[in-house]
Amino acid sequence: MANKDNSGRRLRQALGRFTTGVTVVTAAGPDGTRVGITVNSFASVSLDPPLVLWSIERRSPSLAVFQSAPHFCVNVLAADQESLCQRFASPNADKFDGVGHSQGLGGSTKLAGSLAWFECRNQQQIDGGDHLIIIGEVEDFSHADGDPLVFFGGRLGSLG
C-alpha cells in the first residue's frame, strides 16, 4: 500500500472528480460575533422533516461558534460570486465588511445575490473523523434563477 501522504493526495484527487456546488455557511456566536466559511460538503438529507447537512474541519477557527450557534444559514453561491467564495475561504478578520447581506435566524447571515439560502436550526452534530458533520432543520429558505458556482478538480467554475 502507498504511504499515507500519497494515498491521502490520491483520495483527494479522486474525490475531486465529483462536481459540487459551493456554499458559504454563516452563524453568530452568543456574543454576536459573526462567522462564515466556504463549504462544498452541503447536501440534502430529508424533505420530511426538511434536513440538510454540511461538514466543518475540526481545526477551523470558527468551529466553536458553529457548534454552539442555535441557527446557521447555508448560502448557495451563484457563478458570479467567486470573489465571495475566496473571501470566506480566507482567514480575513471581518469577512462581512462591504458584503451585501441581511440578518437571518439566530444572527446568521443571508448573503445578497446567492442563488438560494437555507436558514436552519442547528439540530445534530456527528463525529466525522477530522470533520464535524452538522445537520440542520430548514426553517426558512428562498431561491432565485441563475447559474451556480461549482467546484471540480480543485477549480471553481460554472455550468454555463
Label residue 142 exposed, middle or buried (CB < 10 Å: 0-12, 13-18, 19+): exposed
- Within 18-160, residue ranges assigned H as helices are 63-68, 82-89
pLDDT digits over 59-82, tens only? 999 999 999 999 999 999 999 999
pLDDT category at 1 given cuts 50, 70, 90 is very low
Taken in order of first residue, the domains within the chain and their CATH numbers are 28-152 (2.30.110.10)
Q: Is 95 within 8 Å of 109 (Cβ atoms)? A: no
The pLDDT of residue 5 is 57
pLDDT digits over 108-141, tens only? 999 999 999 999 999 999 999 999 999 999 999 9
The model's pTM is 0.91
Lowest mean pLDDT among 7-16, 28-37, 90-99: 7-16
